[in-house]
């Protein structure tokens, strides 16, 4: 395979718990390695030294904060992550593969915490407009039934602060991602059921069609 002749792009992976984002990201990174594409892998919350400290607080089951504080900490981490990691990488023509980005905030803090309340969604939109100068070029939503994802996640290590939520919370989060997929052109729904190589093939097809189709 030859390297596509196109500028660096920003790809985010989204989904509820246990959808297989880690495996999917590793597979896409392997594709990029084979193509000789220069890229970085990063994640949210986190991705920069300061943002990783906030991640530890946000995911710690012992952390007790209100919903507004959680939302603001998410954007504080994101702002530092963008300025310290994502934008410099893109400026150096490095592709960015990010495990979660602003859409997770809409789904988790907007729909999950706020039941999709318009005031909360408006607040997220305002914070995004003010503090997120770059959105992903492609957002890959790994779509998996919530109960199946939770079953997978339950087999992993000790649950973090979000993973400890009840299924009705994740049902609302799922609704958030589905709503975004219906309204955001950069969203691409990926059926996350089946063997990992099948999901990988779906992702690679989407990346080729959305980002590489007119590159050569």
Q: Is 46 strand, coil or helix? A: coil
Whether pTM > 0.85 for this model: the answer is: yes
The pLDDT score that the predictor gives to residue 1 is: 46
User: Is residue 216 scored above 80 in pLDDT?
Assistant: no
Indicate whether 1 belongs to any domain. Answer: no
Cα–Cα dist 130/162, whole Å: 26
Q: Confidence band (pLDDT; 50, 70, 90) for 200?
A: very high
Domain residues for 69?
Answer: 10-212
Indicate whether 41 belongs to any domain. Answer: yes
Cα–Cα dist 33/171, whole Å: 36
Identify whether 45 is preceded by a cis peptide bond (ω within 30 of 0).
yes
The pLDDT score that the predictor gives to residue 214 is: 63
Cα–Cα dist 154/166, whole Å: 12
Indicate whether 2 belongs to any domain. Answer: no
Distance of CA 105 to the CA centre of its chain: 9
Indicate whether 3 belongs to any domain. Answer: no
Indicate whether 28 belongs to any domain. Answer: yes
Indicate whether 5 belongs to any domain. Answer: no
The pLDDT score that the predictor gives to residue 158 is: 76
Domain at 35, CATH number:
3.40.50.300
CA distances from 201 to 9, 38, 136, 186, 207 (A): 19, 21, 21, 19, 10
Number of domains present in the structure of the chain: 1
Of 122-131, 137-146, 155-164, which gets the smallest average pLDDT?
155-164
Indicate whether 21 belongs to any domain. Answer: yes
The pLDDT score that the predictor gives to residue 150 is: 86
Cα–Cα dist 156/140, whole Å: 23
Indicate whether 4 belongs to any domain. Answer: no
H helices of the chain, in order, are 21-35, 49-59, 67-81, 87-91, 102-104, 114, 118-131, 146-153, 167-183, 196-207
Proportion of the chain above pLDDT 70, given as a percent: 94
User: Is residue 163 scored above 70 in pLDDT?
Assistant: yes
């Amino acid at each position: 395979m030859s390297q596509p002749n196109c500028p660096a792009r920003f790809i985010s992976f989204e989904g509820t718990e246990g959808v297989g984002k880690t495996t999917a990201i590793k597979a896409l990174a392997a594709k990029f390695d084979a193509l000789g594409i220069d890229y970085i892998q990063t994640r949210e919350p986190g991705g920069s030294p300061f943002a990783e400290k906030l991640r530890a607080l946000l995911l710690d089951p012992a952390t007790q904060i209100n919903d507004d504080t959680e939302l603001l900490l998410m954007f504080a981490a994101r702002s530092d992550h963008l300025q310290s990691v994502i934008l410099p990488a893109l400026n150096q023509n490095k592709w960015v593969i990010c495990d979660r980005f602003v859409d997770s905030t809409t789904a988790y803090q907007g729909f999950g915490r706020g039941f999709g309340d318009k005031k909360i969604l408006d607040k997220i939109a305002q914070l995004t407009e003010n503090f997120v100068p770059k959105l992903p070029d492609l957002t890959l939503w790994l779509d998996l039934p919530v109960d199946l994802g939770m079953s997978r996640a339950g087999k992993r290590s000790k649950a973090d602060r979000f993973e400890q939520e009840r299924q009705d919370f994740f049902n609302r989060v799922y609704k958030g991602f589905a709503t975004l997929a219906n309204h955001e052109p950069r969203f691409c729904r990926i059926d996350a059921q089946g063997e990992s190589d099948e999901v990988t093939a779906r992702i690679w097809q989407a990346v080729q069609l959305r980002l590489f189709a007119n590159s050569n």
